[in-house]
Amino acid sequence: MKYIIDLHTHSIAGGHAYSTFQENVAAAYAKGLVVYGFSEHAPAMPGGPHMFFFGNLKVLPGEFQGMRILKGCEANIMDLEGHLDLPDVLLTRMDYVIASMHIPCLKSGTAAENTDCLIRVMDNPYVQIIGHPDDSRYPLEYDRLVAAAKEKGVLLEVNNTSLSAGSVREGGRENVETYLKLCKEMKAPVILGTDSHYAPHIGDFSNAWEVLKAVDFPEELVVNTSVEKLRGYIRGV
């Protein structure tokens, strides 16, 4: 498989997904992933787990039959200042953190305000990935966003679920094309994430791949192809 890393996945603990951690691990291994990441929704998501869930990730294995398991979270951005819904004392114990804007947790500002917010989030030393910056319900100034991601060494995500038919996010395809073109121009790497809420979707990047192909996106700027590339962004892989 070309893309051997999937760091954006959910489980029944998140309240609106349908597989267990163990089912996810088995599916990731069966797909041939080399690194599987478990990134549950943080507590402000309705139905999400209590903070203690994230304090106890240590009980989960870090490896399955040679496949590396990373334990992180998808934190909610709670205000336009860029505050997250987990304290630093927990964030620092994660292998990685995805930070995302979600409708139940954050009221959109203007495109300039939303962009300033994500740039502030990139300055949070615990955040390595900005999740699905592709939703027209949170308009963004993509030129500034991509330039900041490149400068700060944070990965923008290409979210496979945003690109699927019936996604609740708006304008996904158009927005992803827009920032991919800018990433290509500025040589800013991206990470693909399935955002799986059901184990069989783990490692399926078919929608993302189609858009990458449409904009002729260079493979060297996709970190999912190599553990070495991922290491540049995520400590301890």
Residues 148-177 interacting with Zn ion (rule: CB under 5 A): none
Residues 181-200 interacting with Zn ion (rule: CB under 5 A): 195
Cβ atoms of 62 and 41 closer than 8 Å: no
In this structure, the number of other CB atoms found within 10 A of the CB of residue 110 comes to 11
Residues 106-145 interacting with Zn ion (rule: CB under 5 A): 131
3-state secondary structure of 71: strand
Q: Closer CB to Zn ion, residue 72 or residue 189?
A: 72
Query: Measuring CA to CA, which residue among 19, 66, 51, 52 is closest to residue 38?
Result: 19
Q: Measured between alpha carbons, how far is residue 175 from residues 134, 160, 193, 219 in Å?
A: 5, 13, 16, 20
Span of 100-108, 109-117, 175-183, 215-223 interacting with Zn ion by CB under 5 A: 100-108
Number of residues that bind Zn ion (CB under 5 A): 4
Q: Closer CB to Zn ion, residue 206 or residue 214?
A: 206
Residues 54-83 interacting with Zn ion (rule: CB under 5 A): 74
Q: CA–CA separation, 127 vs 67, rounded Å?
A: 23
Beta strand 67-76 with 63-64 is antiparallel
Q: Closer CB to Zn ion, residue 68 or residue 102?
A: 102
Q: Closer CB to Zn ion, residue 95 or residue 195?
A: 195
CB 230, min distance to Zn ion, A: 18
Q: Closer CB to Zn ion, residue 100 or residue 128?
A: 100
The single residue among 19, 76, 100, 160 that binds Zn ion, judged by CB under 5 A, is: 100
CA atoms within 13 A on the CB side of 233: 30
Q: Which residues bind Zn ion (CB under 5 A)?
A: 74, 100, 131, 195
